[in-house]
Amino acid sequence: MIAELPPLALSGSPGQVVVAILALLVFASLTARLLRFTLARRQPHAVIDNLVSRINAWWVIALVVGLALAAGRDGVTLLFAAASLRALGEFFPPPPVDSGLRKLRIGGFLIVVTLQYGFVWNGSLVAYGVFIPLLAAFALPLAKLCASDARLWPTGMRDLRLGLLFCVWGISHVPALFALPGQPADGHAWLVVFLLLVVQLSDVLQYVWGKLAGRHAIAPRISPGKTVEGTIGGLLSASAVGAAISGVTRFTPGEAAIVALLLAILGFLGGLTLSAIKRQRGVKDWGSLIPGHGGMLDRLDSLCLSAPAFHYLLCSSLLA
């Protein structure tokens, strides 16, 4: 049982993780520049140019997340609240040209996001765990039934539920890791680091393995770029990363590898689910906020399922 493991041992591990992240970004940047000079010969090259854009964006993402982590619980909560709000805006198509309707939607999103992340910041486990599921299951259908103006509901109930569950409820479980009891002063932050590194590196490594060895599409109608070889390589690599950074968690290396594999699989399924929704709408990306990546939701989709799973796995281990 995880709860029976020895106390969290952080000696040297955080510094090593930070150095490893910086080294990885520097190596990726240098490799991309080398490819641009040797293969592209300083000419436009779609694949290499996209790779450079992705790596440049990762530098910015790493800086922003690092500053939020340095600010602690407040910084991480505010960062992911803003990310959820942006993701909601990307998930729902623009309303008809009606300023009143637009203001109503924005106001509703602000209220829901503020309440959910307020519960998270306050550490109200039951409140942030059930608020949006209850809202999606009961409050929204009741409000639609009682509404006198059908224009207030231009978006289907299914989309409203999915949007709130994926973009707000799921993502809010990243800062909710700070609400877990029994952690040392910086233990919560390193749980966030473990989750983000494993899930996001799984995405990156699936992309890399797919480019290197991908032959067979895993879901050609939903995500043509994903391959069986790339997915397996990325999942196993993410599991190895989890084992390598197990020192920032309560897990042994073996347990960290299993947990990382679970998170990577859920990250893949979350991304695939949201890709299916994109295909239904006939769009490639949720937006263009992050160069080389797409919109905010394109970067967060792998956390929609993995973050709640990691949070409640840790909760169950503490209660065991």
State the Cα–Cα distance between residues 34 and 22, nearest whole angstrom.
18
- pLDDT value of residue 36: 77
Characterise 282 by phi-psi region: left (phi > 0), alpha (psi -120 to 50), beta (else): left
pLDDT at 320: 58
The reported pLDDT for the residue numbered 128 is 95
**3-state class of 289 per DSSP?**
coil
Question: For the chain, which residues make up each domain, given as ranges?
Answer: 2-319
pLDDT attached to residue 147: 61
pTM of the model: 0.88
Please give the pLDDT value at position 148.
54
pLDDT at 195: 96
Cα(131)–Cα(138) distance, integer angstroms = 11
Contact 306, 263 (CB under 8 A): yes
pLDDT given at position 52 = 84
Segment-wise mean pLDDT, segments of 10 residues, the chain, 320 residues: 39 61 86 78 73 88 91 94 95 70 80 96 93 89 66 67 94 94 75 94 89 86 89 95 88 94 97 93 90 92 96 81
Rounded Cα distance, 206 and 117, in Å: 31
What was the pLDDT predicted at 156?
Answer: 67
Summarize the chain as % helix, strand, coil (round to 5).
75, 0, 25
